[in-house]
Structure 1
Amino acid sequence: MKAVLATDLSAASEATIENETCLECLGRIGIEEIHLVTVVPSNVHAGMPGIDFEKRRRKSIRKYERVIETAGFNVEVHVVRGTPHRRIRGIAETIGASLTVVGSRGKSPLENRVIGSTARNLARTTETPLIVNRIEREADEPSVLRQHLFQRILYATDFSENAREAFETFSYLRHATQEATLVHVETPKDPEPTADDGSDSRLSELAAKLEEWDIETRNEVRQGDPADEILAVEDAVDPTTILVGSRGHSRLRRLLLGSVSEDLVARANGNVMLVPPA
């Protein structure tokens, strides 16, 4: 399996790359090859006097390349120019990556209301499963907030086809997962369940599959706003990563309203893994 690890060479990116536990987690789920990607933004002009941005980035990224090689991975480095989320997404699709990893310090409440960072733009557009690795927000020398990416998973489902696809990632995450909390949030728009297909029953079926892999599970059925309730469960059980399917929306809806998955990327305390539609 291949993974793209995106970096802007900031202290937050360095925290993701140099965290041995995070790299070990990637190895456990079957990642063997890591493509280290850094993007020189389009608005940084190559002709600016006395500055060769590509050369400087290649020099800076070498230490990260050595860290990843020392951890036992094959490494390929990409220093490219363009819009960061588009180039990262394009490289992931081109190489057939199974996973994209990007660090994020999160956003202030005001910033959450506007078109956001590379992580949020990737959340909107990625066609590859995406991990947003949460980094300390205020620290000068930040570290990752949850070191074990897949040890304790909070899986949120609306029982859609996309949610089912997100659940299927347990087929490889299970090699690094010890505990899972399965959450469904009922809303007023949900149809009335029959006795055979109630939320508790459907979560129990999913839990039984995980228990076959010796993953300790618990179920939560809640009522209310999906993002709010999922984040309330996160506060209660302290998972290392929230796993959720990511549905596409129209361009207007993406820009103005967002989605549950985008809310989680913006507001979660820990890591978020998004699985896009097939």
Structure 2
Amino acid sequence: MFDGVLFPTDGSEGTIPTLEHALDVASTHGATLHLLYVADTTRDSVTQIHGEIVDALEAVGEDVLDDAAERARRRGVTTVTEIRQGEPYREIVGYATATDLDLVIMPTRGRSGLGRLLLGSTTERVVRRSDVPVLTIRPDADATQTDHSYPYRNVLVPTDGSTCAETAVALGIDLSAVDDATLHLLSVVDIASLGMDTRVELQIEGFEQRAEETVADAATTAREGGVETVTTAVETSTSIHRAILSYVENHDIDVVVVGTHGRTGFDRYLLGSVTEKLVRTSPVPVLTVRESVEE
């Protein structure tokens, strides 16, 4: 399923658990692991003085990549290393596309404070712009979630029936089939913007029926795609991403597969917003995939 995997790294603290996860994926699939270091030449301190500063950045990059490659060699994983100059997210997205890779694996830089988790800007931009699926892992969560290693046992795909969600379902099916994992299909009916009268109750019933049909259709597709164990669920909630996180906790989910855009016409289920919240807060890896757009 994955022949080429990209792990961009700057050698910062917290990247090692994510690198180990990337090595698990590459080793299981017999994939080549591409290790990329980007010397950020967009900062004023660098652009004003090229020469020595850029050379120093690249020297750091060589050390970082040598260390990562050595870890890969000890695991029997084939690697390709490259150093580039430029804006990190652009170079990462460009490299993944140009080399026709199957997966990008990156850590988020979570920093908690007043209940918020701030996502590193580079990772956030890669998730939004990459045509290659991106697996994001919170370093702080990954360090404590030792049971959620690869291969995955339980794969969760939240779906609203949109084209974007269908893209995520397809990827989740492939991942579940190759890992022989249980596929969980979840549709959350968002009732946050609805009032409480008889007509609203009827609306909710209609939404729930459509959600049941959505997960049932996806389950049929999954079984036809070779997934042996499929679980479906429909929930109502005033917070979609919290409902998903609750499901993750209650069902021992190892990875969440989501689309980066998607919206239904009735309850304005904006999957893009939900995805960003999941990437920032999920205690397990989140695999994002962009909707295929036909030119």
Name the TM tier (shorter chain): 0.7 to 0.9
| Pair 1:182-2:185 in alignment | yes
Structure 2 residues not aligned, in runs of 5+:
195-202, 264-271
2:176–2:182: 8 Å Cα contact kept in structure 1?
no
TM-score w.r.t. the length of structure 1 is 0.81
1:198 aligns with 2:210: yes
Residue type at the aligned position of 1:23? L
CA contact under 8 A between 2:127 and 2:288: conserved in structure 1? yes
CA distance in 1, matches of 2:175, 2:86: 33
- What is the root-mean-square deviation of aligned Cα atoms in Å? 3.2
User: Which structure 2 residues correspond to residues 201-212 of structure 1 after superposition, within 5 A?
Assistant: 201-211=213-223
- The answer for the alignment partner of 1:34 in structure 2 is 33
Q: In structure 2, how many angstroms separate the alpha carbons of the residues matched to 1:275 and 1:179? A: 20
What amino acid maps onto 1:228 in structure 2? R
Contact kept? 1:151, 1:177, Cα under 8 Å: yes
Is the helix fraction higher in 1 or 2?
A: 2
Percentage identity across aligned positions? 21
SS in structure 2 at match of 1:155: strand
- Distance in 2, Cα, partners of 1:267 & 1:109: 12
Structure index of larger Rg = 2
1:174 is paired with a residue of what secondary structure? helix
Unaligned runs of 5+ in 1: 250-257
One-letter code aligned to 2:218? L
| Kept in 2: contact 1:15–1:143 (CA 8 A) | no
Q: With the length of structure 2 as denominator, give the TM-score of the two structures.
A: 0.76
Q: Does 1:159 align with 2:161?
A: yes
Aligned equivalents of 2:282, 2:161: Cα separation in 1:
21
Correspondences of 1:35-54 after superposition (within 5 Å)? 35-42=34-41, 43=43, 45=46, 46-47=50-51, 52-54=56-58
Is residue 2:271 matched to residue 1:272?
no
Could you report, residue by residue, the CA deviation over 1:69-112 in whole angstroms, capped at 9, with x for unpaired residues?
44344321121222222211111111111111002252325595
- State how many pairs are aligned: 264
- 1:244–1:275: 8 Å Cα contact kept in structure 2? yes
The residue identity in structure 2 corresponding to 1:25 is V
1:245 aligns with 2:259: yes
Any idea what the Cα deviations from partners look like across 1:200-230, whole Å, max 9, x if unmatched?
2331232244345354232221123221211
Higher relative contact order (CA 8 A, sep 6+): 1
